[in-house]
Amino acid sequence: MATALLRSTVFFFVYFLLIFNIADSQSFIGINYGEVADNLPPPSATAKLLQSTSIEKVRLYGADPAIIKALANTGIGIVIGAANGDIPALASDPNFAKNWVNANVAPFSPASKIILITVGNEVITSNDQNLMNQLVPAIQNLHNALNSMSLGDIKVSTVHSMAVLRQSEPPSSALFHPNYMSVLKELLEFNNATGSPFTINPYPYFAYRSDPRPETLAFCLFQPNAGRLDTNTNIKYMNMFDAQVDAIRSALNSMGFKNVEIVVAETGWPYKGDGNEVGPSVENAKAFNGNLIAHLRSMVGTPLMPGKSVDTYLFALYDEDLKPGPGSERAFGLFKPDLTMTYDIGLLKHGQNTPAAPKTPVTTPSSPANPSAKAPKAGGGLWCVPKGGVSNAQLQANLDYACGRGIDCSAIQTGGACFEPNTIVAHATYAMNLFYQTAGRYPWTCDFSQSATLSSNNPSYNGCNYPGGST
């Protein structure tokens, strides 16, 4: 009797500790730390903030040494990124890959826990065939460089948008787009051989924006709904996140890569937006992110991957006030620059308060003018250029944003036709115009937080050609 009572007491004590530990620490919850902003707190303050939460992984879009150093000895896993513009050099020159690792990884490891390098962002769906063909060689060269420096435990992969699928409904019928199959097969063979993940950006927010019915909103926010039946498997999906992740699982399985792990590199919901945007609100953002975290913590998994929570990086740690585009682009942050919560979704550890706000106040610039979703495309013979008097910080943010969105910025890399003059204004002008020309030539794609304007004067010079043309 006493023995049974003792066993029961020990069981419940261990169970309590387990539940308490899960509530304080979830290895599957990460967050994106974007830097397209001019009002962010110092990295040291951010490191303290993260340690007060149950977030155990941080994804950077580059390899900011100040942030990587600040996260040293915290135990927080770090994902760093190589830009799309680095891919040609990484692919063609193994020494460039070694130098990249020497500069961005070796000085910080193992004190800073770098776990993954993402090479490029949404490259395969950029429709830049040359960049697509260079992607896997770039990844392989980085992998080889890591191995040569005894850093082979750091995985290497790339990040995909959901557009990599030809179809996603129902989830069991999902297939990758045939235009990307040759590159994907090569990439997945690498993922499978090295144990690196297939990283994806599923956003139920965008699914709702394209189908703004009340029942779709409930399905996307993990709220009570009738569900959606996959008639091929007789599985009823009760939320969009599971359906999107299982669509990727089905596509991977159909190609014979059942063992390749899926990682959600980005997902989130904006808490505000422009007047013509459907979906952004504090209520919706809190419901999506809060219910997603509860879903992950339940460890129920998805119907095709039960009993395991997919590693998921929330978007985002802070708002990025210098991002161009509609207002929602600047309103995904879970925390404010003063380190307080935008809204509470239960990320703080038990008994923790957010760190004290920095003594120096930060200010947020005014939001850009509201773009109209129905505005016509601009005419031909126009180029997108910075306005006069724009700060170097804003120009650098514009440059980072444009080159991080899949355009080919190789012309402004060392040795490129537009590298000289080697100034922020020259490089930003080239990148901003290329983004505008390739993103549909809509007025809002030459907004850049009201720091850009359209000009009829062609900025091309010598052998540096700035694309421009009629729609």
DSSP letters along 274-303, please? Answer: -TT-SS--HHHHHHHHHHHHHHHHTT-EET
Helix pair angle (129-148, 181-194), 10° resolution: 10
Cα–Cα distances (Å) from 79 to 14, 237, 238, in that order, read 33, 31, 31
Q: Tokens representing 172? A: 């069991």
DSSP letters along 72-99, please? Answer: TTS--EEEEEE-GGGHHHHHH-HHHHHH
Beta bridge partners of 453: 385
As annotated, the active-site residues are: 122, 266
Give percent helix, percent strand, percent coil of the chain, each to the nearest 5: 40, 15, 45
Q: Tokens representing 267? A: 């997902």
170 preceded by a cis bond (ω within 30 of 0): yes
